[in-house]
Structure 1
């Protein structure tokens, strides 16, 4: 390739990057904080309830009485983020990341490699994938023998959450539907309990996961800038020094256990014993699907990997700010769900029931799947929370699915496929990753929006085609 061709290629790349950055800048300028969307959602739902004839008393009672309905689930989702962060920042995982960072042999391969690793880890824990991917991107960016675009690396690190997170074990909707104690009573009477065998581990869901991972990797590889278009971490003023803080010296006898590995090891043994007992006495899918058990294992794993209580608590302190959005937004989602399902109008029907009738009128099979996917993706732009939004959508979506004889497990997975799409545009869940990378959302959104343009038609096609392979199974409602 001659010099003129390289220069022409650089011009094209700069033009593409400029377009992407303009879009990201527009998003940053005009999109308010995600909490504003949640507040606006409560207002819109309240207006909708009043519009169908619900009394003001019914609306305000539903709002107040339902505000704390998701207290347990809110804590569980916050713990998903916290446990993922704690495990990802542990010394053994940090050493693994440094070893992985030397594998890629070229700039574009490095970007696609980060995308693959981020998505693979996301199948286990989306909170872990954000931090793991960000630290891997930083480790690769530190390599003196490789010049890689830091923005593309950062966008690739986000692909675990931006592309496939909801098809993995930490899927909020699938976890909630598999945990009887977390399902709101009104929803439980529609769906019953759906374990991972009907959602995450169906061959259709696993095939979707593989297809989306391949698509994402190819796009990440070929959209990575090369030549003069590359902007490194140094170009963007990012300090890549990740040396851990030196632990403080023990100053009093009472601190001895804080620096000892004894208690973490005992806690780890107890957790392992509990896990073995569960696997020996219960079906494996019920154990894997248990959100409380999942969080217990990850929390204790983080404690063991950090070695001492002091180091573990330091990691927890750094992780807590990343949970703030969940803690303040989920009560609003609970209030929305309560108004939707409890404030009846003049005809005795709630907003949720009116919406169920609308979706039922669409029909079954492909049309229903595509419309639900589009609706989920659109709503996700304004309610960027897989678990919270599922609780808003689920009562009428799952009722509609039952009415048109759509498989309920696949309906959950249609939601999960489409739920990831708005993450590629709305930067709410980028925040923990951005803190690790030292970047701004507009540095990444240009690259992630390109992913969105390819993912949207593929997700709609898969939701339609694979939905045809399912049979309707009536829900089993627990007494």
Structure 2
């Protein structure tokens, strides 16, 4: 209802004279970012240099630091391919004729530019509770569809930032939570973590009533901020203003003129493959916990490939969509290896005392925590480390042994400790270009275009999340 009320305001309500404080702040931050915010690749290069300098400062040999860069550089290749496939398969499904019709229908719901931004935020965050990758691609294509409307002026930057809120606000509180899924699945949980924490069921993490209340509050606040920070008509910069082409070319299927064309155009081949894929998925759900199957990124990508084949119905249409999606993965492919090097330097290169940088950081923050302050202290720590190691599951494996031991030592609720990590994990995403890359590729934007609006969200999210983590903390 709140979304409809927002969307129902008249276009005149968004005039320049009605620009609120949040809108002026977001525009000011964005103008600053447009001038000073570099390409996302600069951040990852600076990250490598800063962490390497930190290693040297702790007494690590130069050779060990250089070796750490090389050893870590390719460590995220499986994840790199997975995330690239998330973009490709998500785009393929979302660009299929049936889903495009659904997105076009959704794009007709808002009645004003500001309402469109708020609506995008709601759709993105709601989808992220099911799967973070879905929220990225669905949100991005919804923004493109909204930008094609001629009856409202949608600020393309604000809408892009709103589409990113699934990753920047709520994803880790839902079924995509890598930490919660790892803790609930004994087959996936590393022994070093399991020996300390034991198995923690989802009923004690993402399905705690405190966690669900926190997720709802964050969603509502984020939608409101998205609405009030969006520029009005006079200040809005549309996709056309930014030089972004949002037209969607019709699928090129053509007619069969030779036997090879017939194979590309027949629906028989895709249906056979989809039937085989469906058999595999049925087997997975019959023999594994449903939540474990859903949380597996390989299975998720497999499902979307099969769904894409089914929705396109023709191999030629499917491959045309893949070709259009591949350029959107460029940032992911070149930057993820550098993040792998950063993770290696943080966790695997010991200083003169034999301890890594992450170990020193952990003990610094954990030493400050008591039972009452534990959620806030660990939340701050996880958010800071999350900017340098933007991987929910990988970072949890790094943090879990000492964070969960600290939770036990101060008699904190173990499941809530996981949720502290989850809620704080999303905070740095709001300004970290790492997770923006798939979205930006689809939108045709740079990080500097949306970071002013996402930074505005961060100004509210940081105190709100830390307060909720403290206020809602259940007893052990």
The question of 1:469 aligning with 2:469 is answered no
How many pairs does the alignment contain? 465
For 1:372 and 1:96, the matched residues in 2 are separated by: 41
Provide the rounded CA distance (Å) in 1 between the counterparts of 2:181 and 2:258: 44
* Distance in structure 2 (CA, Å) of the matches to 1:342 and 1:436: 35
Residue 39 to residue 241, structure 1, CA distance change in 2 (3 Å): closer
In the alignment, structure 1 residue 140 sits paired with structure 2 residue 159: no
Of 425, 428, 451 in structure 1, the residue corresponding to residue 457 of structure 2 is 451
Counterpart secondary structure, 1:254: helix
Structure 1 residues 68-83: aligned runs within 5 Å? 68-83=74-89
1:408 to 1:69, Cα distance in 2 relative to 1, 3 A: farther
Residue 374 (str. 1) matches residue 380 (str. 2)? yes
**Contact 1:352–1:396 (CA under 8 A) maintained in structure 2:** no
User: Could you tell me which of 162, 171, 191 is aligned with 2:168?
Assistant: 162
**Contact conserved, 2:440 with 2:447, CA < 8 A, in 1?**
yes
- Contact kept in structure 2, 1:109 and 1:221, CA below 8 Å: yes
Deviation, structure 1 residue 269: 2.3
What corresponds to 2:91 in structure 1? 85
Give a deviation string over 1:425-477, Cα, whole Å, max 9, x none: 344544444444455544433333322222111111122223x2153xxxxxx
CA contact (8 A) 1:196 1:285 kept: no
Q: Take 1:7 and 1:164, find their aligned partners in 2: how far apart are those partners?
A: 29
Counterparts in 2 of 1:319 and 1:393: CA distance versus 1, 3 Å: farther
Indicate if the aligned counterparts of 1:80 and 1:125 stay in contact, CA closer than 8 A: no
* Contact 2:39–2:447 (8 Å) recurs in 1: no
Is the counterpart of residue 410 in structure 1 residue 419 in structure 2?
no
Equivalent of residue 319 in structure 1, options 325, 346, 365: 325
Quote the residue 1:13 is aligned against.
Answer: 19
Residues 153 and 233, structure 2, Cα contact 8 Å, conserved in 1: no
2:307 pairs, out of 301, 307, 313, with: 301
- Deviation, structure 1 residue 196: 4.7
CA offset at residue 396 of structure 1?
5.1
RMSD of aligned alpha carbons: 3.7
Give the alignment partner of residue 127 of structure 1, picking from 117, 133, 144.
133
- Contact 2:178 2:392 survives alignment (8 Å): yes
Q: Any gaps of 5 or more consecutive residues in structure 1? A: 1-5, 472-479
Residues 340 and 189 (structure 1 numbering): CA distance in 2 closer, same or farther, change over 3 Å? farther
Return 262-271 or 92-101, whichever deviates more: 262-271
Local SS of the residue matching 1:242: coil
How far the C-alpha of 1:361 sits from its partner, in A, is 0.9
Deviation at 1:111, TM superposition (A): 2.7
Alignment of 1:268 with 2:252, yes or no, is no
User: In the alignment, is the contact (CA less than 8 A) between 2:30 and 2:453 conserved in 1?
Assistant: no
Q: Is the 8 A contact 1:85 1:128 kept in 2?
A: no
Q: Deviations over 1:374-395 (max 9, x none)?
A: 2333444455554565566556
Q: Judge conservation of contact 2:177–2:422 (CA < 8 Å) in 1.
A: yes
Change (3 A) 1:342 1:16: closer
Q: Tell me how far apart the structure 1 counterparts of residues 91 and 194 of structure 2 sit (CA, whole Å).
A: 32
Does the residue aligned with 1:362 lie in a helix, a strand or coil?
coil
Aligned 8 A contact 1:165 1:420 in 2: yes
In 2, Cα distance between equivalents of 1:57 and 1:190? 34
Q: Is the 8 A contact 1:116 1:213 kept in 2?
A: yes
TM-score (norm 1): 0.81
Which 10-residue stretch deviates more, 16-25 or 271-280? 16-25
Give distance in 1, aligned partners of 2:474 and 2:371: 10
Distance 1:234 1:325, change over 3 A: closer
* Structure 2 residue corresponding to 1:221, chosen from 193, 208, 227: 227
Local SS of the residue matching 1:24: helix
> CA 1:219/1:19 → structure 2, altered by over 3 Å: closer, same or farther?
closer
Is residue 211 from structure 1 mapped to residue 217 from structure 2 by the alignment? Answer: yes
| Structure 2 gaps, min length 5 | 1-11
Shift of 1:95: 0.7
CA contact (8 A) 1:45 1:339 kept: yes
Corresponding residue for residue 6 of structure 2? none
Query: Hey, what's the Cα distance between the residues in 1 that align with 2:424 and 2:353?
Result: 33
Evaluate the alpha carbon distance shift between residue 118 and residue 357 of structure 1 in structure 2; reply closer, same or farther with a 3 A threshold.
closer
Q: Tell me, in whole angstroms, the C-alpha distance in 1 between the residues paired with 2:187 and 2:78.
A: 9
For the Cα contact (< 8 Å) 2:121–2:162, is it kept in 1? yes
CA, structure 1 residues 42+195, in 2 after alignment: closer, same or farther (shift >3 Å)? farther
Asked if 1:95 corresponds to 2:101, the answer is yes
**1:175-213 superposed Cα distances (whole Å, 9 cap, x missing partner):** 566677877786677667766555444433332221111
Q: Do the aligned partners of 1:34 and 1:384 also contact (CA within 8 Å) in 2?
A: no
Map 1:220-299 onto structure 2 (within 5 A).
220-226=226-232, 228-236=234-242, 238-299=244-305
Aligned to 2:40: 34
For 2:360, the equivalent position in structure 1 comes to: 354
